[in-house]
């Protein structure tokens, strides 16, 4: 784009295309959210508000890892075509008391990675950056796009809140400890985390991503072990891992098989996953756990 004016004009044209794609197919009002709980005691949540559309809901949101500490939010219609997309990055102040969200236009890098997101046409995005600064317990929103004549006015609400440790996901870790081949346990991770997917990070060994079912469309996951109450055991790459939790890991059953993906090159990006030490500064690279409803918080 050569200028903001040109981008805005382009966005208006593309939003008209989006309206045409959805003409005659209404959207029912609803909310969609993506959240991740961290062992630093915080939960980050992005909540999508569709406004007051009518008819059958056909708009959905996907999230994809971009680079570093940023993610793409992609809005698709009933034909699986993108009608809007933008990038959001997350960072944290040095004292750990403030979170910064920056919503950015999805431009050349997005187009190169998703060339057919809208059948080869440019995908509408933000005309300029929008920034939010939030402390734990606060929330704020940004406006994204509208579909004229259909009552659809899309905004997203950003929240940072203390994690209450509720076991509302398929896997829960509470004060997680991990030992490898019977060695001295790492941890514990300070707070509880819970979600459809869980992970932990070991400095020098990378990230371990866990699910109680084979994740659809994801390569590299292997059925490697099982959960029994508050204990998880798995073997991967000839190493035996034993993970213990202060509470049962499954909210609705005693045991389950576990699929594991190990990425030895994984490193957390930015400082938003880190704990804050007594001096008020975020701690250096460390063992931590997290859980989420989407693997895209961590994986491309």
Instruction: Domain ranges for the chain, please list them.
Output: 4-162, 171-297
CA distances from 96 to 107, 279, 280 (A): 30, 11, 7
User: pLDDT per position in the chain (300 positions), as tens?
Assistant: 433 333 334 444 434 333 333 333 334 333 478 999 988 888 999 999 988 876 655 788 999 999 778 999 999 988 999 999 999 999 888 888 899 999 999 999 999 999 999 999 999 999 999 999 999 999 999 999 988 877 789 999 999 998 876 666 789 999 999 999 999 999 998 889 999 999 999 999 999 999 999 999 899 999 999 999 999 999 999 999 999 999 999 988 889 999 999 999 998 876 677 665 555 555 667 899 999 999 999 998
0.75 exceeded by pTM: yes
The rounded distance, in Å, linking the Cα atoms of 299 and 267 is 11
| Residues 131, 93, 263: CA angle, nearest 5 degrees | 90
Whether 12 and 122 have beta carbons less than 8 Å apart is answered as no
Closest CA to 28 of 6, 4, 59: 59
């Amino acid at each position: 784009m050569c200028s903001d004016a040109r981008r805005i004009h382009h966005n208006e044209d593309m939003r008209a295309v989006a309206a045409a794609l959805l003409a005659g197919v209404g959207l029912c009002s609803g909310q969609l959210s993506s959240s991740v709980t961290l062992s630093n005691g915080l939960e980050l949540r992005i909540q999508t508000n569709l406004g007051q559309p009518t008819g059958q809901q056909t708009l959905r949101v996907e999230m994809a890892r971009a680079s570093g500490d940023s993610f793409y939010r992609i809005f698709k219609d009933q034909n699986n075509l993108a009608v809007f997309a933008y990038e959001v990055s997350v960072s944290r102040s040095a004292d750990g008391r403030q979170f910064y969200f920056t919503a950015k236009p999805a431009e050349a890098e997005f187009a190169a990675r998703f060339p057919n997101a809208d059948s080869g046409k440019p995908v509408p995005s933000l005309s300029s950056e929008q920034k939010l600064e939030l402390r734990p317990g606060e929330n704020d929103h940004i406006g994204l796009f509208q579909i004229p004549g259909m009552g659809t006015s899309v905004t997203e609400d950003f929240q940072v809140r203390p994690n209450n440790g509720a076991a509302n996901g398929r896997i829960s870790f509470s004060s997680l400890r991990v030992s490898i081949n019977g060695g001295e346990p790492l941890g514990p991770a300070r707070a509880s985390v819970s979600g459809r997917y869980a992970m932990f990070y070991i400095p020098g060994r990378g990230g371990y991503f866990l699910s109680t079912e084979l994740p659809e469309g994801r390569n590299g996951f292997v059925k490697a072990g099982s959960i029994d109450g508050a204990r998880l055991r798995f073997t991967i790459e000839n190493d035996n891992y034993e993970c213990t939790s202060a509470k049962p890991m499954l909210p609705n059953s005693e045991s389950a098989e576990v699929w594991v993906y190990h990425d030895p090159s994984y490193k957390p990006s930015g400082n938003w996953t880190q704990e804050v030490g007594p001096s008020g500064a975020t701690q250096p690279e460390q063992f931590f756990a997290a859980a989420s409803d989407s693997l895209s918080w961590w994986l491309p």
